[in-house]
Amino acid sequence: MYSFPLEPDETIIKKCLASYSCDGDVLNGALYLTDHRLVFVGYSLSIGSKYMDEVLLTHIKALETEKTFFVIPNVLKVITIQDKVIKIIIKGRNQWVEAINRQTGRVN
């Protein structure tokens, strides 16, 4: 259901169901971490079709964590080098931060 084209030398490292928020759009779908990029694939009733957003790992400027309703620690905030802010609600947020940092070579 949630699929996207992989580059010939690209491998999926991690995936899970997620909610995505950017520029006022909120979508449900799946988040994928590959060895090259972070990819969200979802569907929206207002769009009526598949939606995909991706960030090359080299274009991630910062990762921050937030809480839903100031209590639930499940929000991953991705800030790109173009200052685009993407918020993703996922299970295992801290493990995602660690996995992304491993792929980008960052230290926590």
CATH 3.20.20.100 fits domain 12-104: no
Report whether 54 contacts 74 (CB < 8 A): no
Helix (H) or strand (E) holding 24: none
**pLDDT tens sequence for the chain (108 residues):** 677 889 899 999 999 999 888 777 778 899 999 999 999 998 766 556 778 889 999 999 999 999 988 898 999 999 999 999 999 999 999 999 999 999 988 655
* pTM of structure: 0.87
